Structure 1
């Protein structure tokens, strides 16, 4: 590519190097873009798969479908990828597609501001450095800010305390008395693993999770050879996973009665493994299955049944120097506290300060609720594109598929910007509102609206996280940009 050809291509800053950021970078590279920079707050790529290194960390979407369609991996060790293997896959993609020279590590973005006069973004990092680009792509994900519970006295605890997403591998749990607060997706994976080491485990549960068996097993060598030698079989296998997962969307969004079949299966599993009557009574949820994230595990119920695990459903009052005090006044002495309390998923783009047109910040624009056109563009924030944005999460299929759809849409937007050099695209407010209203209407009859509290809901009880339908409808909606959805701004008009 000559400089002349490149001159027309907008410059891009990508924030984050998880699955979304890397996918965006690969597509830019393949389309002949060289003028892009990836800013990463940590010292390595990988996003959630770099951060979550707790024992037993694994994916709950099948490996062959939790990977890029354009970069199949034939030698997955198991049906469901483990953390180290997923991280390795992402690092291999960086090498294969030559992304390393575009990544700047230890660059946590604190703010980004749009300049109306020049139609450019100025991105500031924690060390005070500023970079200017035509386009900003936020690929920070929804699961990058650990949620810390607001429990009185956490700072008084004299033992070891850490969040599961910031696992302390230097601390030996062998023969320790450990408290685990929370029973979400992470705890389901690490509790069975640490049960092998700890002296005792006090598991503090606010509400039980629906847990289904995981259809996981190692791949045999001949299967891996087959995937490699017959690429068509690899593709067919991937399609089969896709349609099997996709069929579940009907249960979540339209026919929630179908989910009762899964509830029966979960109850049966619990009864098979948990013999303690108190534990069995409290480990099965009282809310409709699917209202919160459904989890998959083969060793959760056997772990719960072990005699050195104490299931505590009384609410926590406070933490003191030596342990946890519940609201009934009982003191639970422990050496270590592990927070399995999840992520601040509905706080999109936090803690960055993003300032758009007329000095309006994203927090101000979203004061009444988070919304984005197609989950990607936000009115008043021209040339800012959000990957894995509002209402693009899934409960039934692979987020990597959604990210590829979003990246294709952003590439289509960049093609438009290339045709109109110096311009900026600002989505029309009425298009954003119409899209958001359609999404919220679609969510009204979904199982996520069945009355439980979950991380899908924001503080106003609005579901800003999930996509209320099939992923193929989302892909069709994002296959290319319709420029009539946007106002094209030129520097002279942008005042």
Structure 2
């Protein structure tokens, strides 16, 4: 074969050079981009695998889905929304709100949807992040911001015999809207935050519903009602009033932190409310007892619903207080060996919170992924900076969630910190910045002492808040005003700077 006859390999496209690349177009990614733009950093790109803006609110759209935080608190302070229809906004409104925010602040042209990142690694020679997508696109970024959050990748379980089932199976996080449940026999596996919303929504239309609940959780009443039109009118005419309502609500929750730090007080303050919520719908004493959790409220994610227990009491619902043993061609089998014939199985088994896909994609200075570095025990500095991963910030990372606020609030404060840090990097012409190991360790040692006083411990209950070592990797146990102050003041002395 002559040289001229050899196949010519197509050249790889040159990577697009950007100052900041953000992974995720949810509340965190949008907030970061908006704050950066306000400081004059505009060479920014957001990549998101969803087909629309909104992060987890774009990926998840199961029946009954709504926020479990009041709408005024579950919003961005710099982008108030006077048009919430309810005190707890439904999924469609939240997704639309985030989409509107992107348009309002004119960052839509920065967003690339239907774009999945399959590799992001630090190039030590170029001192830049090299990012590629499944479509073959390439980017070279000075700064990488991971803003994928912790609720996105559905955790699809695998039971013996699952592949042999002749009916329909899907996860609530990947809801099959083309499948009609009307008149069907349905098994719901799980009783977490997703199940308590979609089960009451589908209960009226199905023939029979089998609810598998191995470990019941605390479900508190939810003060959810339609927002009076006069309130929306006032908010539109006097935006300051809406801001005052939001800030008052946030500050009003600050005194709750000491309660979460004292297990006996927490039990006394919250368990009677949870028991009341059970008793007002469940009349059978035996079922009441089985639905009553044995752990302290707060160890697992607190949940809110007015429909959950009422739905479980309906004649067409049968609650199985056991785990799922295996699946047959025509049904599901409980641990006690009893089989329940069903047409559809819906898994409400949660998300890969402990090990999101992004942990296996991002590779640091030594070539190891976040998963390989952390080994099931994630650590960061203020939930954002990670030693060994220069020029990178992670939003809603380890120990970034405060007890009193909301994910939106956290995202907004972190966006302030990250934008200020990147502005400082830009202005000082810093090439490489990495949080110091001792700074990261000191931060975690300090909050570990506070976490020891909370009921989120392996000796109290099992929870996705706990990592493989039994440490709470989820909560930042300080007052919101303290966290906000720290995230509004960047100390470059905390970093090794080149």
Counterparts of residues 92-111 of structure 1 (less than 5 Å):
92-111=100-119
How far does the alpha carbon of each residue in 1:89-143 deviate from its partner, in whole angstroms, 9 at most, with x for none?
A: 0111111111221111221111111111221100111123211010000000000
- Tell me which residue corresponds to 1:468: 477
Secondary structure of 2:186 counterpart: strand
Instruction: Measure the CA separation in 2 of the matches of 1:344 and 1:46.
Output: 19
1:453 and 2:426 matched: no
Counterparts of residues 312-351 of structure 1 (less than 5 Å):
312-348=320-356, 350=358
1:359 and 2:361 matched: no
- Tell me which residue corresponds to 1:267: 275
Q: TM-score, normalising length from structure 1?
A: 0.94
Shifted more, 273-282 versus 107-116: the winner is 273-282
How far does the alpha carbon of each residue in 1:43-72 deviate from its partner, in whole angstroms, 9 at most, with x for none?
A: 111111112211110101111111111111
Secondary structure of 1:132 counterpart: strand
Shifted more, 365-374 versus 211-220: the winner is 365-374
Kept in 2, the 8 Å contact 1:212–1:266? The answer is yes
Counterparts of residues 53-452 of structure 1 (less than 5 Å):
53-254=61-262, 256-348=264-356, 350=358, 352-367=360-375, 369-421=377-429, 423-449=431-457, 451-452=460-461
1:487 and 2:487 matched: no
Kept in 1, the 8 Å contact 2:300–2:456? The answer is yes
Instruction: Measure the CA separation in 2 of the matches of 1:348 and 1:477.
Output: 27
- In the superposition, relative to structure 1, how do residues 259 and 232 fare at CA in structure 2: closer, same or farther (>3 Å)? farther
Kept in 2, the 8 Å contact 1:142–1:388? The answer is yes
Instruction: Measure the CA separation in 2 of the matches of 1:102 and 1:401.
Output: 23
Instruction: Measure the CA separation in 2 of the matches of 1:394 and 1:259.
Output: 20
Instruction: Measure the CA separation in 1 of the matches of 2:38 and 2:427.
Output: 19
- In the superposition, relative to structure 1, how do residues 246 and 188 fare at CA in structure 2: closer, same or farther (>3 Å)? farther
Kept in 1, the 8 Å contact 2:360–2:371? The answer is no
How many residue pairs match? The answer is: 481
Secondary structure of 2:37 counterpart: helix
Once the two structures are TM-superposed, the CA of residue 352 in structure 1 deviates from its matched residue by 3.9
Kept in 2, the 8 Å contact 1:146–1:163? The answer is yes
How far does the alpha carbon of each residue in 1:449-473 deviate from its partner, in whole angstroms, 9 at most, with x for none?
A: 2520011112222211122222222
- In the superposition, relative to structure 1, how do residues 387 and 336 fare at CA in structure 2: closer, same or farther (>3 Å)? same
Q: TM-score, normalising length from structure 2?
A: 0.93
Kept in 2, the 8 Å contact 1:390–1:464? The answer is yes
Kept in 2, the 8 Å contact 1:11–1:133? The answer is yes
1:45 and 2:53 matched: yes
1:21 and 2:29 matched: yes
Instruction: Measure the CA separation in 2 of the matches of 1:186 and 1:372.
Output: 28
- In the superposition, relative to structure 1, how do residues 286 and 350 fare at CA in structure 2: closer, same or farther (>3 Å)? same
Secondary structure of 1:62 counterpart: coil
Secondary structure of 1:61 counterpart: coil
Unaligned stretches of 5+ residues in structure 1: 1-8, 490-495
Unaligned stretches of 5+ residues in structure 2: 1-16
- Tell me which residue corresponds to 1:492: none
Kept in 2, the 8 Å contact 1:110–1:351? The answer is no
Once the two structures are TM-superposed, the CA of residue 421 in structure 1 deviates from its matched residue by 2.1
Once the two structures are TM-superposed, the CA of residue 395 in structure 1 deviates from its matched residue by 4.4
Secondary structure of 2:21 counterpart: strand
Shifted more, 320-329 versus 254-263: the winner is 254-263
Once the two structures are TM-superposed, the CA of residue 269 in structure 1 deviates from its matched residue by 2.1
- In the superposition, relative to structure 1, how do residues 340 and 444 fare at CA in structure 2: closer, same or farther (>3 Å)? same
Once the two structures are TM-superposed, the CA of residue 208 in structure 1 deviates from its matched residue by 0.6
Instruction: Measure the CA separation in 2 of the matches of 1:260 and 1:211.
Output: 16
